[in-house]
Amino acid sequence: MRARGVLHPAFLALASSAALAHAVWYTLFPVYLRSSALELWQVGVISSLTLTLSFVLALPAGVVADAASTRWALALASAGQLAPLLLILLAPHPLLLLASVAAYTFFLALRGQVALRLLAASGSQRSWSTIYSAYLLLVGASGVAGAYLSGLLAERRGFSAVYLASAALFSLALVLSLFVENVPGGSGRRAVRNLKMLQSRDFARLTASLALHDLAVFSATPYVQIFQREVVGLSLSQISLLAAAGSAASQAAQLGAGYFADRFGAKKALALHYLGVSAGYAVMGVGRSFEDLLAATLVQSVFLPFDIPARRKLLSLMAPESAVATVNGLSDAIVGLVALPSPLLGSYLWLGVGPRGMLAACAALNLTAFLPLVALKEENG
């Protein structure tokens, strides 16, 4: 039988190329910004946009993904990531950097929402998380390679080579989009109308839990590499090696995480993810050497893949097939709005209680996400 959806070979090749491109430039992005005249809070805000703003922009990206054909949407995403990437290299002014990263982030979100549409078109609800985890595993291998290559390129050829290599890979993704399975678009208006069915307590509980979790995580994330560099004293190659090791650990656990969510419930998978993230930040906060930070990275990374397949399964089962991307986008947008000021919170904590205190505070804040999660009905995942 012909491969469909996220299992289509052309889409897997495209997604792998795009993941490699993103990891090559983004791995050391905070360090790149730190080498400029930007203040710490500016580095945190700009470098975290691809995390926080991607959630806010997920709703319009989801509407576009549901309304457009998958082939056209993926071509748009590749071209849309390529152009801002070149501007990031050429635009040192904070406002131009902010605008470039924001534009890039919309198309990053669009690519992710198209993947959800293709997954919905391919398959079985019983193995939803496992299929999605398999997709994440295949494309995530490119992210591991990109994270490692980032440090090597930056040290040997400079940051210009990093951004040009990423631009070439996004160009390849643009060409590959012409060969992806083309699932026709639907009605954007119908997808938006279907959102009225989400006025439910379970949708609110799940979204509240995810918002608290992402607020805590994104408060620390922009400063982790700066912590590694300035507090512990790691080299650029050591920082990229940690990123690559973390990605490798996550990929190794990916299929197990998807199976766990299908077998034991997505709610339990999210709970394990929350615990692992807090444990990782706690261990990192007391780390004094590369080996300590490696242990913290591995602890956290093993539990990272328990998040996305579980939250996507829970949200997608709440949605009609015609509005899968839009429903996921609505929840992501709410979560993103709550998490948007998180870099400012992280900067405030860094300056107020110190870098190690910031990591401890974020680990504690993350545990509050259990409160609404506990009230979520188990039968929804």
Q: Mean pLDDT, to the nearest integer, of 234-246?
A: 89
pLDDT digits (tens, 9 = 90+) for 310-319: 998 888 777 6
Q: How confident is the model at residue 124 (pLDDT cuts 50, 70, 90)?
A: low
DSSP state of 227: I
The more confidently predicted of residues 280 and 201 is: 280
Name the pLDDT band for 85 (thresholds 50, 70, 90): confident
How high is the pLDDT of residue 125? 61
So what's the architecture of 5-380 in CATH?
Up-down Bundle (1.20)
Q: What percent of the chain has pLDDT over 70?
A: 89
DSSP state of 369: G
CA separation for the pair 228, 241 (Å, rounded): 12
What pLDDT is recorded for position 1? 38
Kindly tell me if the per-residue pLDDT of 184 is higher than 70.
yes
Lowest-confidence region among 3-7, 48-52, 131-135, 323-327: 3-7
Does pTM surpass 0.85? Answer: no
Q: pLDDT tens digits for 257-304?
A: 888 988 888 999 999 999 999 999 999 999 999 999 999 999 999 999
- The two structure tokens encoding residue 5: 């959806």
Give percent above pLDDT 90 in the chain.
Answer: 38
Closest CA to 316 of 84, 132, 96: 132
Instruction: Name residues whose C-beta falls within 8 Å of residue 225's C-beta, 6 or more positions apart in sequence.
Output: 28, 30, 31, 239
Helices in 91-200 by DSSP H: which ranges? Answer: 94-122, 128-157, 159-176, 188-193
Residue 228 is classified by DSSP as I
Dist CA 310 CA 330 (whole Å) = 16
How many other C-beta atoms can be found within 10 angstroms of the C-beta atom of residue 213? Answer: 28
Q: What number is the average pLDDT over the span 335-346? A: 89
| Cα distance between residue 314 and residue 332, in whole Å | 13
10 Å Cβ neighbour count for 295? 15
Residue 251 has a pLDDT of 81
H/E element holding 247? helix 236-264
| Listed residue (282, 284, 260, 283) closest to 271, CA to CA | 260
Highest mean pLDDT among 69-73, 90-94, 341-345, 363-367: 363-367
Averaged pLDDT of the chain: 85
Q: Which two tokens stand for residue 128?
A: 């939803």
Any idea which of 102-111, 202-211, 370-379 has the lowest mean pLDDT?
370-379
Residue 117 pLDDT > 60? yes
Tell which wins on pLDDT, 4 or 36: 36
What does each C-alpha distance from 96 to 45, 53, 84, 305, 341 come to in angstroms?
13, 16, 10, 33, 19
Q: 378 or 138: whose pLDDT is higher?
A: 138
How far apart (Å, rounded) are the C-alpha atoms in residues 194 and 280?
Answer: 39
Decide if pLDDT at 64 tops 50: yes
